[in-house]
């Protein structure tokens, strides 16, 4: 079963606007990660936020984590056409946290 679920499933915005994607999960976690996938390619790691962190920034990316609500959000500011991709959250799972469980992803389209 999926640990993380992204919302919305698809998002289409104009270039320059901000894009917000949400992720909800079910069980306690140590960390949550966000990945990007361009069409026809593998996933690329974007950012990791630990369970004791509430917010983290990386360039135009801002990730928040609310462990009380078991949710995270990814904000991309000043979007560009090159940001068009699918975005996935992933949470650690299982004993020893050797595995990640991925959500189904949000398909983001940036219109020029």
Report d(CA 44, CA 42) in Å as an integer: 7
Q: Which of 85, 92, 108, 110 binds other proteins (CB under 8 A)?
A: 92
Q: Which of 29, 65, 74, 108 binds other proteins (CB under 8 A)?
A: 29
Q: Is the Cβ–Cβ distance between 56 and 62 less than 8 Å?
A: yes
Q: Which pairing describes strands 85-93 and 31-37: parallel, antiparallel, or unpaired?
A: antiparallel
The torsion angle over the Cα atoms of residues 74, 75, 79 and 85, rounded to 10 degrees, is: 10
Q: What part of residues 59-88 is at the interface with other proteins (CB under 8 A)?
A: 88
Q: Which of 14, 39, 40, 69 binds other proteins (CB under 8 A)?
A: 40
Q: Which residues bind other proteins (CB under 8 A)?
A: 2, 29-31, 33, 40-45, 48, 50, 88, 91-92, 94, 96-105
């Amino acid at each position: 079963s999926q640990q993380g679920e992204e919302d919305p499933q698809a998002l289409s915005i104009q270039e320059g606007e901000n894009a917000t994607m949400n992720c909800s999960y079910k069980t306690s976690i140590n960390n949550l990660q966000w990945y990007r996938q361009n069409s026809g390619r593998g996933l690329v790691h974007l950012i990791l936020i630990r369970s004791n962190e509430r917010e983290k920034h990386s360039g135009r990316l801002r990730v928040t984590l609310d462990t009380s609500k078991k949710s995270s959000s990814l904000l991309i500011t000043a979007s560009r056409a090159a940001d068009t991709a699918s975005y996935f959250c992933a949470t650690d799972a299982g004993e020893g946290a050797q595995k990640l469980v991925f959500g189904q992803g949000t398909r983001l389209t940036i219109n020029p």
